[in-house]
Amino acid sequence: MSGEAFVEVREAIRRSLDRREPLIVVTGHSGSGKTALCRSVLAEARGAVSSTILNPFLTFHDLLKQVADDLDPASRRAAEADVDLATEHDLMRSIQRFVESNPGRPAVLFIDDAHLLNPVVLAQLRGLLNLSPVGRGLTILLVGQPELDTTLRRPQFLSVEQRVAQRYRLDSSTKPEVPVSRHVRAPRPAAVRRLAAAAALLAAGWIAGAVWRRSFPAATATPSERQASEPSSAPSVPAASASPSTVERLALPSTLAPAAESADRGSGRQAQPIREEPRNADGTDYRYVSLRGTVERQAQVLASRGDVKALLALRADTENRYRELGTSRPALIAQLLDALDVRIDEARAVRLKLDAQAFRR
């Protein structure tokens, strides 16, 4: 669609608003310029008062409350305590009184992304169209994607479809050349706003991670960095003056076990068997294997939920439990901590995705 066609549509919408036609439908694909077109028309409409609905997921009661607030802010401030308790009937009566008391001032309800409206809310718009006679009532401007036309043609929306005065379809094959008021800046398309919001969330997550790493280096260091920073410790040797009864018996290698037994027999003491911890078939202490399995299952669940704080706490708890078991399996704990670091990164990505979805809603 050429720039001249866009100008013609713009002038047609302006004339429809001047005639105070009940319902105007403007459709087009994303990026076709329909929202900017309607905003520029409303900005240049002389004496018109408008209410803009940018959240199509509002209930009908919340929609009526916003319309009543936008059309008559002075009355809202005078009875602000009663607005939250007002019923739908009270809100519609308030809108009707304002429209009828200002016959020379066009009142427009502009709903963006109307194709996402709840079907119940879309059907209830008929009540707003019946508030006043045609030419003196509220004008509803529905803007959405092409499926909005398909929805309005369904049998359950016949009462709304019958009140459509004008329909305009914008083509996105070329960039619209719609003159915008010098005093009003045309908003960015919805897709650009969503990309900007997602980029801002990613930047915030990166900054938060950098601050966390600088504040808690020990909790975020890699296994190799932790091993490099830890001083090498030599095994402690019991004091020579200590009594044999107070010295903890150490597990000796198999080559030294007979010598230890003969020494015990020479001293008159009964040799005590050396206790060995149960091990798996591959020789790994089962306690380490149990720790790894439990931590991996918990980390998988927390990562799927995007719970970064719980994963960081699980990582610190894993290190504490490993020290309690004895630091005899450095390779195993290093692999486990690396796996936890990967789960933490996954949780951060899931959290950013959930925050972006909540921001769009």
Confidence of residue 254 (pLDDT cuts 50, 70, 90): very low
Q: What percent of the chain has pLDDT over 70?
A: 68
- The whole-number pLDDT of residue 266 equals 47
DSSP 116: G
48-57, 170-179, 298-307: the lowest-pLDDT one: 170-179
> Which DSSP string corresponds to 161-213?
HTTEEEEEEE--SS-------TTSPPPPPHHHHHHHHHHHHHHHHHHHHHHHH
| Average pLDDT score, the chain | 75
- The whole-number pLDDT of residue 180 equals 37
Cα atoms in the Cβ-side hemisphere of radius 13 Å centred on 345: 6
Backbone φ and ψ of 70, nearest 5° = -75, -40
Determine contact, residues 283/314, Cβ cutoff 8 Å: no
- The whole-number pLDDT of residue 319 equals 85
Determine contact, residues 48/108, Cβ cutoff 8 Å: yes
Question: Angle at which helices 330-360 and 286-305 pack, to 10 degrees?
Answer: 10
Strand partners, 26: 143, 168
Helix residue ranges, H only, 255-329:
257-266, 286-305, 308-325
Where do you find CATH 3.40.50.300 in the chain? 3-187
DSSP element (H, E) containing 109:
strand 107-111
pLDDT tens for 120-147 read 999 999 888 887 665 677 889 999 999 9
pLDDT tens for 184-195 read 444 556 667 777
The Cα–Cα gap between 229 and 211 comes to 21
**Radius of gyration for the chain, computed over Cα atoms and rounded to the nearest angstrom:** 36
pLDDT above 70 for 1: no
Length of the chain: 361
- The whole-number pLDDT of residue 122 equals 92
The Cα–Cα gap between 192 and 349 comes to 21
pLDDT tens for 29-63 read 888 888 888 988 888 887 888 899 999 999 999 99
Confidence of residue 235 (pLDDT cuts 50, 70, 90): very low
- The whole-number pLDDT of residue 112 equals 93
Relative to beta strand 164-170, strand 49-53 is: unpaired
Strand partners, 111: 53, 142
- The whole-number pLDDT of residue 10 equals 85
pLDDT tens for 66-92 read 998 888 776 655 455 455 567 888 888
What the block records as the tokens of 291 is 């720790």
Determine contact, residues 75/50, Cβ cutoff 8 Å: no
Query: Which residue type is seen at 288?
Result: Y
Count other Cβ atoms within 10 Å, centred on residue 102: 15
Helix (H, G, I), strand (E, B) or coil at 267: coil
Determine contact, residues 67/95, Cβ cutoff 8 Å: yes
pLDDT tens for 193-225 read 777 877 888 888 778 777 767 766 655 556 566
Assign domain 3-187 to its CATH superfamily. P-loop containing nucleotide triphosphate hydrolases (3.40.50.300)
pLDDT above 60 for 334: yes
DSSP element (H, E) containing 15:
helix 3-18
